[in-house]
Amino acid sequence: MQVDLSQAITLLQRGEVVAIPTETVYGLAADANNDQALSKIYALKKRPANNPLIVHIAEVGQVLDWAEIFSPLAQRLAAVFWPGPFTLVLPAKAHVSNILRANQPTVALRVPNHASTLIILQQSGLALAAPSANTHTQVSPTTAAHVTASLGEHVSVFDGGACKVGIESTIVSVEDDNWHLLRLGMISEAEIEAIADQPAFKGNDSLPVAPGQQKLHYSPNTPIQLFASRFALQAYAEKQEGCAALIIGQGDIANAQTFCLSNNPDEAAERLYSTLHQIDALHKNKLLVETPPKAADWSAIHDRLERAAHKNT
Least Å from the CB of residue 147 to Mg ion: 12
To the nearest 10°, the Cα dihedral for 243, 249, 254, 259?
Answer: 40
Shortest approach of Mg ion to residue 304 CB, angstroms? 11
Query: In this complex, which beta carbon is closest to Mg ion, that of residue 9 or of residue 130?
Result: 130
* Smallest gap from residue 217 Cβ to Mg ion (A): 7
If one counts every other C-beta atom within 10 angstroms of the C-beta of residue 177, the result is 11
Site track 227-266 with ligand TXA (rule: CB under 6 A), x = hit: ----------------------------------------
Min separation Cβ 269 and Mg ion, Å = 15
Nearest to 259 by CA among 272, 241, 247, 269: 247
- C-alpha–C-alpha distance, residues 219 and 240, integer Å: 22
Applying CB under 6 A, among 17, 107, 126, 226 the residue interacting with ligand TXA is 107
Shortest Cβ distance from residue 310 to ligand TXA (Å)?
15
Q: Binders of ligand TXA among 24-53, rule CB under 6 A?
A: 24-25, 27, 51-53
Give me the half-sphere count of Cα atoms (radius 13 Å) on the Cβ side of residue 27: 30
Backbone angles phi, psi at 278, to 5 degrees: -65, -45
Nearer to Mg ion among residue 132 and residue 150 (C-beta): 132
Q: Which stretch binds ligand TXA (CB under 6 A): 3-11, 187-195, 209-217, 258-266?
A: 209-217
| Residue closer to ligand TXA (CB basis): 142 or 234 | 142
- Residue number with the shortest CB distance to ligand TXA? 212
CB of 141 to ligand TXA, least distance (A): 9
Q: Is 158 exposed, middle or buried (0-12, 13-18, 19+ CB in 10 A)?
A: buried
Kindly list the residues in this chain that would bind ligand TXA in the complex (CB under 6 A). Answer: 22, 24-25, 27, 51-54, 85, 87, 89, 101, 104, 106-108, 110, 112, 130-132, 168-169, 171, 182, 208, 210-213
Kindly list the residues in this chain that would bind Mg ion in the complex (CB under 5 A). Answer: 132
